Structure 1
Amino acid sequence: MPKVLISDKLSPAAIDIFKRRGIDVTVKTGLAPAELREIIGEFDGLAIRSATKVTRELLDAATNLKVIGRAGIGVDNVDVKSATARGVVVMNTPYGNAITTAEHAIGLMFALARELPEASASTKAGKWEKNRFMGVELTGKTLGLIGAGNIGSIVADRALGLKMRVLAYDPYLTEARATTLGVEKADLDTVLARADFITLHTPLTEQTRNILSRESIARTKPGVRIINCARGGLVDEAALYDALKSGHVAGAALDVFEVEPAKESPLFALPNVVCTPHLGAATTEAQENVALQVAEQISDFLLTGAVTNAINMASVSAEDAPRLKPYMELCQLLGSFAGQLTEARQGVIRKVGIEYEGAAAHVNQRPLSAALFAGLLAPMMEGVNMVNAPVFARDHGIELAETVFDRDCEYQTLIRVSVTTDEQTRTVSGTLFGGAKPRLVEVKGIKVEADFGRHMLYVTNRDKPGFIAQCSAILAEKGINIATFHLGRTEKGGDAVCLISIDETLPDDALAAIRALPQVMQATQISF
């Protein structure tokens, strides 16, 4: 039974989901980092919100951890790079609180435009300063979006309903998507120069940190109002303070800050600043939604292998997971086979090519390629799995070329792998027999049909009489039983391939004896 730790406060409904799905769930919130490190090693999954900090040190202690689920969008509190290196899937729930956060941004925009917090405080103090609070309308104003993803697109929709014009800056926004949203795609300088209101909806990365820097704020339209419900650190708070004091920026509404909890800030003293304590996702509906989603996602992954909303690997839906499982197994075995055949003397791997034909051309190939890389690199590197294998491959300069052939082929499905080293390129191909059982069908261009046995002996030799008898005699002498024996050749007297499934590991002296046979060019023991 998989074990999951909930280390931050989640809805009780999430606990019920884990239990109903057959997950052993433990709830321990408010743990100090040292306390969490002491117990994390026994858990397969970790469900968190923003309070738990998943550091490299915590991951070092998480020897059994397979998945981290963040109930919410931001994963700033997770060392994703370290998690990926350790093969831990990191998931978030990007949709559960999107509407809530977008509504909060719109609410702050209204509050800022009509000076609602100051007007409320004044009225409650017994004043009636009707002439003091002269706001502005939103209708007809230009809203500048920085980030047009899930939340930004909802904000755009609501703003259009308020009869605002919307400019959107997002490097990933296509013209077609902008047309669908009803917004004008623009570069950052255009947004800064034309927007009456600017609202931020982008994650905090090295590229977006201080995207509203002192220089950027100076390029904004005089009298602009700025709203940030995304992440602290997107706005240079010191520069914003100076711009608010000078009047260049008419007002700001902040739900997030560079340092949280934000107990003190020069911005708090300014009357044209509206502040809330990171309430973007703080509605009953959002808290329930993200808790339910993260519980379902973690459960799906641990029980079926489904990967949803992962930050660091390809997604596999719960519906696709059973269908993809045999393809992923085939890819992992093909990669492992090719990796074990790649000897150090042949140089480092430079390029991997993967070709998908037949039924394999019509499934999600991203997790298949990840599984293949995991199998390929496992013989050479420790701790490799589907999560970190593509990263390891990229870090080691291995080029990947994927080709999908939407055409009929000799088999119902065919996956061909080519591995290029400094010395040579080797190909192996496989299919699914009966749609489910992995089978080798080609090695080095030579047709040979063989099941993947737990222990195998791979031999390339010259096609001459006597080899089979000599090889079998060596195995018999060492008491090694042969399970299956598969042969293939290019032509009579040419190069040949021999794949022998054996019942146990081959002793080193037996392997050396086979390699010493005059017909043998390569002999390698393969284990799965």
Structure 2
Amino acid sequence: MADVLITEFMHEPTAQALIADFGAHWDPELWCKRAELLDRVADARAIVVRNATQVDVELLDAAPKLRLVARMGVGLDNIDVAACRARGIEVCPAVGANAVSVAEYVIATAMILLRGRAYYATPEVIAGTWDRPRYGSGLELAGRTMGIVGFGSIGQVVGARARGMEMKVIAHDAMLPEDAPAWKDAARVDLDTLIEKADVVTLHCPLLPETVDLIDAARIARMKPGAVLINSARGGIVNEAACAAALRSGHLGGAALDTLKVEPIDATARELFAGLDNLILTPHVAGVTRDSNRRIAEVAAANVRRVLGAPAG
């Protein structure tokens, strides 16, 4: 059995280096082969995961030699951190390694949604329809307000890019101290003020009991008419039924949801979102690009080398 398990997709050259140095076992689908995963983890000293692998008490009980959970990403809701800590197992997320990819996703989707249907005009243009009044009725980012919920490493990179687009940046983060240097670049506001003032609301907070349905029907109703909502954090933070209803009514100008309560999408969400032309759905890839894949893999591999030491031989 292998010292190192890689249970999901990974930047291939980095994975191959771990295979060469540690005899790592890499199976991008191991996360969904639970019985095999529990068998293989018995001898593992390190496991490299994304967000699909459930590192729970059952897995930890099957892994007496485990010393490291290297997370390719930043969210830890698939990892029982307390149980790891109790066993002396390090949990190391790749903080900041995918921040640029997420930030570019936010800016790109905000631009698309504020411009209305302009970016979807290709079929009509090819067909000879030249509806400039309809497709030319969108809005600019410049001069508008970006509201960032969760002003950690990713939220701050989003803010920097929003300022580069000449947006005003306001943010809410109850965990970030009032005297943190990051606040020099954003106005610190409470959540409800942010909801009411932002033209674009983007979420970068963890999924915790207190953030489930954080953006519910009441908060969506308090958003500006025509505002845009972007969730590239975690499914469950946005109440999907309330979001769909606001998109249908036109109260929300648009939404981009990269994360859903159930992934892949289930029948309930499929029915909620069917036919909405002011909605962008993506399969949890805001932070996933070839560039970020390399960076987060390198961070994970560096943590493996640090914790396990030089490979034998």
Taking structure 1 as the reference length, the TM-score comes to 0.54
The answer (yes or no) to whether the contact 2:19–2:25 under 8 Å persists in 1 is no
Aligned counterparts of 1:5 and 1:186: Cα–Cα separation in 2: 43
Shift of 1:203: 1.2
Larger radius of gyration: 1
* Deviating more after overlay: 229-238 vs 210-219: 210-219
Matches within 5 A, 1:77-476: 77-115=78-116, 116-123=118-125, 127-133=129-135, 134-177=137-180, 181-262=184-265, 264-303=270-309
Distance 1:214 1:47, change over 3 A: same
Distance 1:80 1:125, change over 3 A: farther
The answer (yes or no) to whether the contact 1:96–1:286 under 8 Å persists in 2 is yes
The answer (yes or no) to whether the contact 1:148–1:170 under 8 Å persists in 2 is yes
Distance 1:233 1:125, change over 3 A: farther
Aligned counterparts of 2:193 and 2:183: Cα–Cα separation in 1: 20
Q: Secondary structure at the match of 2:134?
A: coil
Aligned CA RMSD, in angstroms, stands at 2.2
- Residue 45 of structure 1 aligns with which residue? 46
Distance 1:255 1:119, change over 3 A: farther
- Residue 15 of structure 2 aligns with which residue? 15
Distance 1:145 1:296, change over 3 A: same
Shift of 1:81: 2.8
| Amino acid aligned to 1:278 | H
Distance 1:200 1:125, change over 3 A: farther
What are the Cα deviations for residues 157-199 of structure 1, in whole angstroms up to 9, with x where unaligned? 1111111111111113344436654211000111011111111
Aligned counterparts of 1:122 and 1:71: Cα–Cα separation in 2: 41
Shift of 1:126: 5.3
Distance 1:33 1:301, change over 3 A: same
Aligned counterparts of 1:4 and 1:127: Cα–Cα separation in 2: 57
Unaligned runs of 5+ in 1: 305-528
* Structure possessing the higher relative contact order (Cα contacts under 8 Å, 6 or more residues apart): 2
Q: What count of residue pairs does the alignment treat as equivalent?
A: 303
Aligned counterparts of 1:183 and 1:167: Cα–Cα separation in 2: 5
| Amino acid aligned to 1:262 | I
Q: Secondary structure at the match of 1:136?
A: coil
Shift of 1:9: 1.7
Aligned counterparts of 2:128 and 2:43: Cα–Cα separation in 1: 59
- Residue 317 of structure 1 aligns with which residue? none
Shift of 1:132: 1.9
% identical aligned pairs: 37
Aligned counterparts of 2:129 and 2:78: Cα–Cα separation in 1: 44
Aligned counterparts of 1:106 and 1:143: Cα–Cα separation in 2: 10
Aligned counterparts of 2:80 and 2:132: Cα–Cα separation in 1: 51
Unaligned runs of 5+ in 2: none
Q: Secondary structure at the match of 1:207?
A: helix
Shift of 1:86: 2.9
Distance 1:221 1:292, change over 3 A: same
Shift of 1:245: 2.0
* Deviating more after overlay: 270-279 vs 228-237: 270-279
What are the Cα deviations for residues 467-491 of structure 1, in whole angstroms up to 9, with x where unaligned? xxxxxxxxxxxxxxxxxxxxxxxxx
Distance 1:179 1:299, change over 3 A: closer
Aligned counterparts of 1:179 and 1:293: Cα–Cα separation in 2: 24
The answer (yes or no) to whether the contact 2:49–2:71 under 8 Å persists in 1 is yes
Q: Which has the higher strand share?
A: 1
| Amino acid aligned to 1:35 | E
The answer (yes or no) to whether the contact 2:10–2:28 under 8 Å persists in 1 is no
